Amino acid sequence: MKDTADFAKHVHFQPSIGEDEINAVREVLKEGRLTLISSEKISEFETRFAKYIGVKHAIAVNSGTAALHVALASLEIGAGDEVIVPPFTFVATATAVLHQNAIPIFVDIDPETYCIDPNAIEKAITPNTKAIIPVHLFGHPADMESILKIGRENNIPIIEDACQAHGAKYKNKKVGSIGDLGCFSFFESKNMMTGEGGIITTNDDELAEKCRLIRHHGEPYWYQYVRLGYNYRMTAIQAAIGLIQLKKLDNMNKRRIENAKYYNENFSGLPGLELPKSRKDVKHVYHLYAPLIRPEELGINREKFLGKINEKEVITKLIYPRPLYKSPLFQDLMGYGPKKCPFTCPYYKKKVSYKIHLPIVEDICNRVIGLPTIPSLSTEQLDQIVSTIKNAIGELKK
């Protein structure tokens, strides 16, 4: 975690925290009701968030990872099942599948949006496929119309990983309201945050009830346990912060979009740099601004380019430098210890191997960089980032 801590000291990726958030936390502490058991803050936050997304239910949990795990568990995903996921995302999209003793199946991504490719999904479906998890990466919605069509035709539920896309829209519908379930993270770097935290959204009454049970030990009443569950409850402190952040979300997203536009205007035509693209039928909320470099034009690879532009001050970072399937967790089938469960599960009749090659994601992973879009960035800070990158490219092109 040292690299992460050092990075946070230098880069403008910190959350926007004002007196409103501080006062909200103070009020909860003074009240002395801190948990789902004793406080109404969590249910108030759930109601407000559900209304904002446009769904019937929101179930607050303590992380985006927990949201994904609970969503999969509510669909009864388990041993012998496969879940299709993209390999260009945070690891929790895939490890949540492992937590349910199921097998992640990685498929390639769209070269323009970086989101999962529906054509690749279709080719990967087997009788074992029990869910598809599209990720709305960096705030850009996945091609949900195509993905939903595939899901309906094959009777496969869709879990939206919207952990980086609070307030993003696909054809005028907010992400998290389109699939069977939506999952959000409120980690401190997200478009809205509660420090840590997450939430599940759905219009399905039965799935919502299952999610509530699973996040609270499978316990509908005191000392009655009706299914396997976990302590994934959100705290009242997190909910209090969330209520304030939710009020600010649209304005914070507006600022992120403006910052991305500023980058686009200033980087347009710059040699050796490909600007991120956005579909016309979506609202991209730019959790991150993620251009690609062209190493053959710059005469330098991505790692050396990052070193060059971060010489004086860290202004950019390495994001998802390899597809998930290339990490030791999957290459070595590590799973739960030396027995390598769930990869060796007897209910799964296939041999698992992640010795695969997905050309688009591997190309993107070698060339992508991440620039901050946080609302608090000043024009001077944006100018510094732009000039640093322009000067570095100028020197390389001499």
pLDDT, tens only, 15-61: 889 999 999 999 999 999 999 999 999 999 999 999 999 999 999 99
Q: How far apart are CA 115 and CA 141, in angstroms?
A: 8
Rounded to the nearest 5 percent, the helix, strand and coil shares of the chain are: 40, 15, 45
CB 168, CB 162: distance < 8 Å: yes
- Asked if residue 279 is part of any domain, the answer here is no
User: Strands 129-132, 198-202: parallel, antiparallel or unpaired by DSSP?
Assistant: unpaired
Q: Which one, of 61, 67, 57, lies nearest residue 205 by Cα?
A: 57
- Asked if residue 299 is part of any domain, the answer here is no
- Asked if residue 264 is part of any domain, the answer here is no
Q: How many helices (H) and strands (E) does the chain have?
A: 14, 12
Position 92, amino acid: A
Q: How far apart are CA 163 and CA 64, in angstroms?
A: 6
The whole-number pLDDT of residue 7 equals 44
Q: How far apart are CA 84 and CA 243, in angstroms?
A: 33
Q: Which one, of 266, 278, 258, lies nearest residue 374 by Cα?
A: 258
Give 74-114 pLDDT, tens digit per residue: 999 999 999 999 999 999 999 999 999 999 999 999 999 99
- Asked if residue 69 is part of any domain, the answer here is yes
Range of the domain at 196: 13-107+114-246
1 vs 205, more confident: 205
Rg of the Cα atoms in the chain:
21
Give 236-263 pLDDT, tens digit per residue: 999 999 999 999 999 999 999 999 999 9
Cβ-in-10-Å burial (0-12, 13-18, 19+) of 352 comes to middle
- Asked if residue 19 is part of any domain, the answer here is yes
129 contact partners, CB below 8 Å, separation of at least 6: 81, 82, 83, 84, 105, 154, 156
Total number of domains constituting the chain: 1
CATH number for the domain harbouring residue 236: 3.40.640.10
Which DSSP state fits 226?
A: -
Q: How far apart are CA 134 and CA 138, in angstroms?
A: 13
369 vs 313, more confident: 369
Across the range 323-348, mean pLDDT stands at 95
Average pLDDT, the chain: 95
What's the token pair of residue 98? 């492992």
**Three-class secondary structure of residue 39 per DSSP:** coil
The whole-number pLDDT of residue 13 equals 65
The whole-number pLDDT of residue 8 equals 46
Give 286-333 pLDDT, tens digit per residue: 999 999 999 999 999 999 999 999 988 888 888 999 999 999 999 999
- CA torsion sign for 333, 337, 340, 342 is negative
Across the range 127-136, mean pLDDT stands at 98
